[in-house]
Every structure is written in C-alpha cells, then in structure tokens.
Structure 1
Amino acid sequence: MNGRPAPAVLPPSLRVWLGPIAALAALVVVVLGVLYADDSKPGMVDARISAAVDGVGPPWRYVALALDFLGEPGGAVMLVVAMLAGCLLLRRPRAAVFTVAGVGMTVGTATLLKHLVGRTIHGDGNLSYPSGHTAFFTALALIVALLATGRLGLGRPAGTSLVLAAALVAGAAMGWAQVALGAHYPTDVLGGCCTALAVVPATAWLVDRMADRPALADRMADRLADAGRRERR
C-alpha cells in the first residue's frame, strides 16, 4: 500500500461555501468589465474615493510605495519564493504547486482581462482593469489562508472567515496603495480582488483533482492486486 495521501489544498470544509463566493466574484468582474469597457475616465464612485485617497503625502506615501513594490515583479518573486520555501520545508509539494498555479492563473487572468476590457487610465494607454497588483496580492493571501485552514483543521465558519478576511485585508491594503499612487481607479482594485476570489478556489480544486488521480489509480491497483491474491488462495 502507498503512504498517506497529501492534504488537499482546498479544505473539504470550505468547498460548499467557496463555490458560490467564487461565482459571485466572477460575476462582479464581468459586470464591472462590461460597464467600463474601452473607457478612460473614472466613474462616479471612482471619482469620490480617489479624491479622498489619491496623492497622499509622507509617511503614508512610503507605505503605499512599499506595498506597490510587493506587486512588482521583483517583490512578487520574493514573496512567491518565500512561500515555496515554506511549503518545501513543511514537505508540502502539493501546496507548492498550488502556490505557483494559483498566482500564475490569477495574474494571467487579470492580464487577459486587461486586454479584453481595454480600460485605460491617465489617457496614456495604460490598461487598468482589473488591477494586477491587487489580484496578485489578494491571491497570495487567499493561498496562505486556504493552506492555514487545512493545516489547522478549521471548520467551515472559522475557515470561511479566515479566507474572506485575508482577501479583504490584502485587497484593501494593496488597493489603497494603487489608488493613493494614482495607478488605478477604485473599481479596478475591486475587479482585481474579485479576480483572485474567482480564480484561486477554482485552481485549488483543479490542483487537488490532478494530484489525487495517481493516488486513486494506485489505490485501485492495490485493491485489484489484493483481490487477485485472495482468489489464488
């Protein structure tokens, strides 16, 4: 018989709730994308929030710049490598694969949506919807929360609260930085956060499905072998 199978990256206690949440997040992404397709101006909500947040001075501007760096290639690679190192030290190869796949799928989806929606900011052709920085940072927080939920054995209420809180805090922090620096509209930020909420749970489910197939095949082979040995006795 084979050893104990690797823990699922999508905790069973959260599967029922994360499905509808991911679907709702995907709907928000689509609706905002349709509303602001090929647009280059802020909406009414964008204008009000940006007026209160945009152009912050020191020391908060330094905080915003530090958060922004974490969404840039250099900072993002640093965070992902740290996550991978933690997964490998804990002997969680499936979690390491999930980290790479979750981040990659989220950033890839956000990039594709930018070109499909075509929303720009500052009139210089810079595609803005959804915010890739916010999508990345929210995705990484969701991955950490899902892995922590599984490792700690949290039930549905506690696990769901942890996952949603991680998404909210990470999305709000990076989103504030992007709006404060004038890099994105608030609705771009919301779209980025919801992109992560839609993509990460789906990626977790897919990673589990692909990882469990060999284990299932091995178990079936073991059972067939045991049945054959019993018949020969």
Structure 2
Amino acid sequence: MLPPALCGWLGPIAALAALVVVVLGVRYSGRSRPGTVDAWIQSAVDGVGPPWRRVALAVDYLAEPAGAAALVVAAVTGCLLGRRLRAAVLVVVGTGLTVGTTTLLKPLVGRTIHDGHLSYPSGHTAFLTAFALVVALLAAGRLGLGRAAGTMLVITSALLAGAAMGWAQVALGAHYPTDTLGGWCTALAVVPATAWLVDRSADAGRPERY
C-alpha cells in the first residue's frame, strides 16, 4: 500500500507533520482564543455569504458521520470489486486511526472554541485529508508512478482536501485556522505509518517460499 518509490519521501514528511502537531498542541494548549495568525485568517474569511456558506456546508458534510461513512463505503466497495483487500483495509484503518488520533489529542491539548467545545486538532480536516491521502496512495501504486510523480500526486491531493475542509471549518466558525492545520498534519503523520503497518502485517502473513 506504500509504494516503494515514495517511502523515502513520505517518511520524513510524516515525521515533520507529527512534530508540527505536537508543537501546535503545546503552543495552544488550554487556550480558548485565536492566536495572531488565527485572527488574521479569520478576518479574511469572515462574512461568507449565503452561496459560499452552502458550499462550506456541503464540504463539511463530507466529514460528518453520514458523509464520511458514504465515502468510506464507496471506496471499500471499489477496492473489494477490484479484489484489493489490502487497499480496503487501508481505507478503513487509515481514516479510522486518523480520526481516532484527533479524538485522543483534543482532551490532551484542551484548546476550546465556542463555550468550551474542544477544537484542536480538527477531526473534519483530518478525515478528509486522510481519505484523499489513501486514495492518492492507491492511485500512485496502481499507476506505477515514480518518486516525483507519486509524491506530487499524494501531496497535491492532501493539500486540496485539507485546504477545502480547512476553509469550510473556518468559514463556518467551527475551528480556528491552526486547528485545521493540526488536523491536516495529523493525517500526514498517521496515514503513511498506517500504510506501512498494513503492508508489514500482510507480508508477515504470507508463507515463505523456498
């Protein structure tokens, strides 16, 4: 599930992303107000009109329980129809562990928004980014992309998904911008590690040939 050509790039990226999650978590631990960067970005996004608000709500729905379940079921069904069991496992475990990680981190960091709602890191942003990463990894492996093209596909997919959901969360007032960055980095840290573990587990179960 983790194309060999991408291992050299995704490992350091995942480690850097994990570091960013920790640094931001420590920086905003226990706070209930936006930071300087948060305030600047929020002022630029503030005042989203009805047409764009509907777009934001539509994007937000993709990471709501019903929307997320629909995406995962569709992806798993496609993997099973293509007889790619390992890919189906990665879709479920990769997105599940990413969201689970954000759920565990929120009470540890203790950052809040809107009357005490835990906000860091953004689970919505983490989910959609993780889903995009998994799909991009599957596509890169399926197409046999090299290091440069494969890495470009994976990172671009993560950027687009994270930016779209991050914008939606800030526009709807659900998260601070740095919450969405933390969610994005959480996905970048968890998904490659999960893909590696899925590969190792599947390979360990294969009988050795002599």
TM interval, short-chain normalised:
over 0.9
Cα deviation 1:145-185 (Å, max 9, x = unaligned): 00000000000000000000011000000000000000000
CA distance in 2, matches of 1:189, 1:202: 20
Report which of the two structures shows the higher radius of gyration computed on alpha carbons. 1
Equivalent position to 2:34, from 27, 42, 48:
42
Residue 49 of structure 2 is aligned with which of 44, 50, 57?
57
SS at match of 1:154: coil
Structure-2 residue corresponding to 1:91: 83
Which one of the candidate residues 3, 24, 27 is aligned to 2:19? 27
- Structure-2 separation of matches of 1:166 and 1:116: 29
**1:190: which partner in 2?**
181
Shifted more, 51-60 versus 180-189: the winner is 51-60
Q: CA deviation at 1:115?
A: 1.0
Match status 1:125 vs 2:121: no
Amino acid at match of 1:209: R
Q: What is the distance in 2 between the residues matched to 1:85 and 1:60? A: 32
Report the equivalent of 1:5.
none
Aligned-partner Cα distance in 2 for 1:92–1:24: 30
Give the deviation of 1:214 after TM superposition.
Answer: 1.6
Q: Given the alignment, which residue of 189, 194, 197 partners 1:203?
A: 194
Secondary structure at 1:182 match in 2: coil
Long gaps (5+) in structure 1: 1-8, 224-233
**Amino acid corresponding to residue 12 of structure 1 in structure 2:** P
CA RMSD of aligned residues (A): 0.7
| 2: CA distance, partners of 1:160 / 1:70 | 25
Gaps of 5+ in 2: none
Q: Percent identity?
A: 75
CA deviations 1:72-107 (Å, max 9, x no partner) are 101000100000011011110000001101001100
In structure 1, the partner of 2:62 is 70
Give distance in 1, aligned partners of 2:77 and 2:7: 27
List per-residue Cα deviations over 1:108-127 (Å, max 9, x = no partner).
001111111000012x1100
Q: Secondary structure at the match of 2:173?
A: coil
Work out the CA distance in 1 between the residues paired with 2:203 and 2:15: 24
Partner of 2:208: 219
Q: Which residue of 2 aligns with 1:104?
A: 96
Contact 1:55 1:181 in 2 (8 A): no
2:197 maps to amino acid: L
Q: Residue 133 of structure 2 is aligned with which of 109, 130, 142?
A: 142
Deviation per CA, 1:186-228: give whole Å up to 9, x if none.
000000000000000000000000000121xx124xx2xxxxx
